[in-house]
Each structure stands twice: as structure tokens, then as C-alpha cells.
Amino acid sequence: MIKREMAHESTETDDELLARLRRGDEAAFVALYRRRQGAIYRFAMHMSGSATAAEDITQEVFLALLRRECGYDPKRGTLSGYLFGIARKLVLRNLERGRADVALESEADDAALPELAVIHDPLIDLTRREGIEALRRAVLALPRRYREVVLLCDLEELDYADAAVALRCPIGTVRSRMHRARALLFEKLNQDRNPRLAVGPWKPMRVAI
């Protein structure tokens, strides 16, 4: 049973808080929840498109920490990456139960997609030039595999190693997907600004900057 102890300062690392949690310290759980729940909720919300689903997923992610067999291994990555991995698994399960995904998922393998040439990261410039709502819509319109890397690496600022743990894929795959996701965002927002450029179904194009 979780017991109450005097709250510690939040300068402790996630792993230190988790160690206290496993000893039954309720204050450690509260500290971890306050520190990480916002990011987990945002990720689940943008992936599922549902505030209700995001709330349920966030609760399930943190309830998983209360289980002794939660499976977190600090040698494989950070606790933050592990929590995002649980959230992603729950999002996918939620979608598989019949929820319609907000993105048109491509069945093609990553390697089969055309290479998109981007010389610099367009997201910073795009965020400055575009309204937040327009950027949010563009992110939600990405195929799932690209949306999740943008949310993890750009919105939540996970490094590629932690994102790879969360997504259960090699770091090189994360890097490749980020490259394509940013190019797709750049292309989509350019087309939204200039509808005449979008003739027929939207397809990825080589971007020259």
C-alpha cells in the first residue's frame, strides 16, 4: 500500500522518484504525475484527436507505474521515453477498437517513400509564420508514423534515442521519419497558403528551399 511521506523537492530525477514510489511513497507518485502528465496528455490528445481518450490514456499510463512488473529498464532509456511508449501503445489500442484515425495512414514501407530534400529545419520558421491552429491542423493531417515523431521530438523535445525507445524502432528510422515529417509539414502549409498549388489529391513533393 502507498504510504504518505513529507513531499520532497522536485529536483529529484525521474528515476529517484520512481525508486521512492516503489517503496510506497505517495508523494513521489504525485511529483512524477505533475512533472510528466502534461506531456503525456498532449501526445495522446494529438494522436487520438479526442480529449476524453487522452485523459483515459494518461491515467492508464501512470497507473502502469504502480504495478511492480511495469517493465521499465533505465539501461534502455529514460522514464520519460518509457511513458511515451506506453501512451503510444494505448493510443494504438484505442484506434484499433474502432476509432477512426485523423490521418490517412500509408501502407507503404518507409524505405519505399520518395526522399524529400530539406536543407534546414522548417518547423521553427513555419511556427513563426503560421498560426498555431494552422500548424496543429497540419500536424494532425500527417500519417501516424510521422505525426508521432513530430509530437515526440519537436513538441515534447525527446532526443532521438528516447523517441526510438518509445516507438520501438531504430534511431535511424526516427531520424528518417523526422526528415520526411518536416518536409511534409512544409509542403502542406505551403499548399494551405496557396490552394492553387494543390491540384488533385495531395501527394508528397520534393521541396526546394
Angstrom distance (rounded) from CA 4 to CA 105: 46
Reply yes or no on whether the pLDDT at 201 is more than 60: no
In tens, the pLDDT along 13-37 reads 999 999 999 888 999 999 999 999 9
Q: What are the grid coordinates assigned to 21, written together?
A: 514510489
List of domains in the chain = 14-96 (1.10.1740.10), 110-197 (1.10.10.10)
3: β partners: 25
25: β partners: 3
| Cβ atoms within 10 Å of 9's Cβ, excluding its own | 6
Using alpha carbons, list the distances in angstroms from residue 178 to 70, 163, 190: 29, 11, 18
Angstrom distance (rounded) from CA 179 to CA 173: 10
Angstrom distance (rounded) from CA 115 to CA 199: 21
pLDDT band for 159, please (50, 70, 90 cuts). very high
Using alpha carbons, list the distances in angstroms from residue 88 to 43, 68, 75, 152, 193: 8, 21, 20, 10, 32
In tens, the pLDDT along 45-80 reads 988 888 899 999 999 999 988 876 778 888 888 999
End-to-end CA distance of the chain: 58
Angstrom distance (rounded) from CA 78 to CA 122: 28
In tens, the pLDDT along 100-153 reads 444 434 434 444 433 333 334 445 455 555 456 777 788 888 899 999 999 999
Angstrom distance (rounded) from CA 85 to CA 94: 14
